[in-house]
Structure 1
Amino acid sequence: MGKDVIANWHAFVRSRDPAALHALLAEDAVFESPVVHTPQAGRPVVEKYLLAAMQVLGNETFRYEGEWFAESSAVLEFACEIDGIRINGVDMIAWNEAGRITRFKVMVRPLKAINLLHQKMAARLTARA
């Protein structure tokens, strides 16, 4: 099941289809970000953050570079470049028995990248509000 969940995640990343993201997330999904100090809970909020993140990070340089799987979770390493800053990070994804994502945690480096993402995500989320 795990490989199917991650295959569906990759399909969403390619398509950017909000309906595909909605179908992937559990109702009680939680999003944890390097730029927000509290976990964001509930499908609508998680959708908002992940759609904004794809708009900010998902340029032509974005790519996944590695994947590691456990029974009900996976870690996906990604890289991209924004405004001349190389960003490296991981998506830590957990899912339930139904194959829906229950937790999505993002970690990013270096500090310069975190600061840039904080600025760009704030602007994107404000624009969506």
Structure 2
Amino acid sequence: MDPTETRRRFRAAVEAGDNAAAVATFAPDIVLRSPIINGQFEGRQAVGDLMAAVIETFEDLHYTAEAAADDGTQILAFSARVRGREIDAVDLVRVNDEGLISEFVVHIRPMAGLAAVAAVLGPRIARGPVSRALVRLFATPLAVLLALVDPLVPRLVRTRAG
């Protein structure tokens, strides 16, 4: 299958909120590198669980651009809201010879939005109740702090020449 067709099938599944159809585009050995952990999610089940949490919690997720790089990497840009905070993201997707997504790299901005994503997704994908509590303990204050600081940052840094 053409990598572009795989990208389109994945996009349509996510836009429809159909996690099963999204997971059907994943290779059994898919690897997803997340912006919220220094590691990766491995395998269709783990990445599928993460994708289900994304589909359930991201509000107004809509794709804004898509393209293919010269090396075949598929690129999807999207916007969404998480807890009312706007985010922009780019997914870099590699498709294997069977037409399934084998590698997925996610980039999210701004930092306050990324912190909101961590605070929402972290507890949903944690391994158990103790892990869930620890994730909430660490991620929630960071999200609150960055939400408070975010409006001040443009006043504190030079965003224009001169």
TM above 0.5, yes or no, is yes
Give the ranges of 4+ consecutive aligned residues of structure 1 lying more than 6 Å apart after TM superposition: none
Q: Unaligned stretches of 5+ in structure 2? A: 130-162
Partner of 1:66: 65
Structure whose residues are more often strand by fraction: 1
Distance in 2 (CA, whole Å) between partners of 1:128 and 1:13 is 26
The answer to which structure, 1 or 2, has the higher relative contact order (CA under 8 A, 6+ apart) is 1
- The two structures have a TM-score, normalised by structure 2, of 0.71
- The two structures have a TM-score, normalised by structure 1, of 0.87
Q: Establish whether residue 41 from structure 1 lines up as the match of residue 42 from structure 2.
A: yes
Fraction of identical pairs, as percent:
25
CA contact (8 A) 2:53 2:125 kept: yes
Q: CA RMSD in A?
A: 2.0
Could you say what secondary structure the match of 1:119 adopts? helix
Superposed counterparts of 1:1-129, under 5 Å: 1-57=2-58, 59=59, 61-70=60-69, 71-126=71-126
The change in CA–CA distance for 1:101 and 1:128 in structure 2 (over 3 A counts) is farther
CA contact (8 A) 1:72 1:96 kept: no
Q: Unaligned stretches of 5+ in structure 1? A: none
